[in-house]
Amino acid sequence: MSNYRSLDNAGATIRFVGINEENTGQVLICALPLSHLGGFVYLQFALELTMSIVLMERFIPVEFLKNIEKHKATWFHIVPPMFNALLQLKEFEKYDLSSLKGVDVFGAPSHPSLIQRFGKYCPNAILWHGWGMTETAAPNTATGQEHMASVGKPPPWFEMKIFDNNDRELPAGEVGEIVCRGWPVMMGYYKEPEMTAEIMRGGWLHTGDLGSIDQEGYVYIKGRKKDMIIVGGLNVYSPEVEDVIAEHPGIKEVAVVGVPDKLRGEAVKAMVVPKDGKQLSDKEIKAFCRERLIRFKVPQIVEVRDFLPKTRSGKVQKEALK
């Protein structure tokens, strides 16, 4: 393996997943904007590993599945809302996904059960969580079934640690901000020296993501630092609440945010989109959460919506919801 390949996303895939130049006939299916890091990675794979790309102008769930079957696609990566949209399709099970060899869900935490459900219909595929941001172009690492909730271990050329609010390293298992350094990290923001100095404090890129690293070195993403909700001095991580609500059989999509509360500082608010034909009430969702969450994590406000606003890359716009 040449040196330049050992330092990027394609190099990480070669190392951790086993794909290489000898795996001819690989077909990528891309429904992400090429201006997005995820879209750029598709180009990187195609050039370095001689893969073909099926480009979609925009993500339409049923068309995405049709293209997998039609073109015998072998690899794709998408963000969790896209992944969830595929699983919500009534006709999902009728498409032949057996050609898939690799599926990566990245960009935000995703419940392992969703990935495992998808895996039933593509038995030949390696399934894993990815992580990264434009400032790092960080590589993905395969996790395997036993660590499906993790985004894997960092490769040898990329360091990751967990810092507290005073930039001190936290012990294994504790939640704090993910920081990283290494060849994939950016040099800085264009003509923004002050912003660069702030985010690159001490030589570490401060990602704004919350996470933990276990004793074995596996990294777990808990959410965005700005999305953490503080209820009466206690931390609530919105992905944890979202994962619970997503298990409700009538839920199509969910987003959880913090809203001002005079008594506790912040309150947990859940916005839910019901599946087609399903009727939901705030009392039903709250009761469902009370059976599965500690009291202070249960949403105080539940709003039923027709849709959730999203970015071009398919991520839910939580700032707009706030």
Measured distance CA(129)–CA(142) in Å, rounded: 7
Can you give the pLDDT at residue 1?
A: 37
Stated pTM of the model: 0.80
Residues 192 and 121 in one domain: no
**Mean pLDDT in residue range 84-104:** 88
Measured distance CA(45)–CA(259) in Å, rounded: 41
**Mean pLDDT in residue range 126-155:** 75
Confidence bin at 45 (pLDDT 50/70/90):
confident
- The answer on pLDDT for 20 being more than 70 is no
- The answer on pLDDT for 105 being more than 60 is yes
**Mean pLDDT in residue range 222-239:** 89
Number of structural domains found in the chain: 3
Can you give the pLDDT at residue 4?
A: 42
Residues 218 and 235 in one domain: no
Q: Which of 20, 29, 25, 16 is nearest to 1 (CA)?
A: 20
- The answer on pLDDT for 7 being more than 70 is no
Angstrom CA distances, 224 to 78, 177, 321, stand at 18, 9, 15
Question: Which is more confidently placed, 99 or 313?
Answer: 99
Q: Which of 107, 127, 147 is the last residue of a domain?
A: 147
Of 12-26, 42-56, 70-84, 260-274, the poorest mean pLDDT is in 12-26
3-state DSSP of 109-147: CCCHHHHHHHHCCCCCCEEEECCCCCCCCCCCCCCCHHH
- The answer on pLDDT for 72 being more than 60 is yes
Q: Which of 193, 224, 255 is the last residue of a domain?
A: 224
Answer whether 97's CB lies under 8 Å from 27's CB. no
In terms of residue numbers, what domain contains 299?
228-321
Which tokens sit at 288? 């469902």
Quick check: is 174 in a domain? yes
Residues 199 and 101 in one domain: no
Residues 45 and 118 in one domain: yes
Measured distance CA(88)–CA(275) in Å, rounded: 8
Of 37-41, 81-85, 166-170, the poorest mean pLDDT is in 37-41
Residues 238 and 205 in one domain: no
Q: Can you name the residues that pair with 28 across neighbouring β-strands?
A: 53, 75
Can you give the pLDDT at residue 12?
A: 63
Q: Domain with 293 in it: what CATH number?
A: 3.30.300.30
pLDDT digits (tens, 9 = 90+) for 159-194: 999 999 999 999 999 999 999 998 889 999 999 999
- The answer on pLDDT for 312 being more than 50 is yes
Can you give the pLDDT at residue 122?
A: 84
Q: Domain with 83 in it: what CATH number?
A: 3.40.50.980
Can you give the pLDDT at residue 271?
A: 96
Report the percentage of the chain scoring pLDDT > 90: 46
- The answer on pLDDT for 77 being more than 70 is yes
Torsion of CA 106, 111, 112, 115, to 10 degrees: -60
Residues 214 and 277 in one domain: no
Q: Which of 83, 116, 147 is the last residue of a domain?
A: 147
Mean pLDDT of the chain: 86
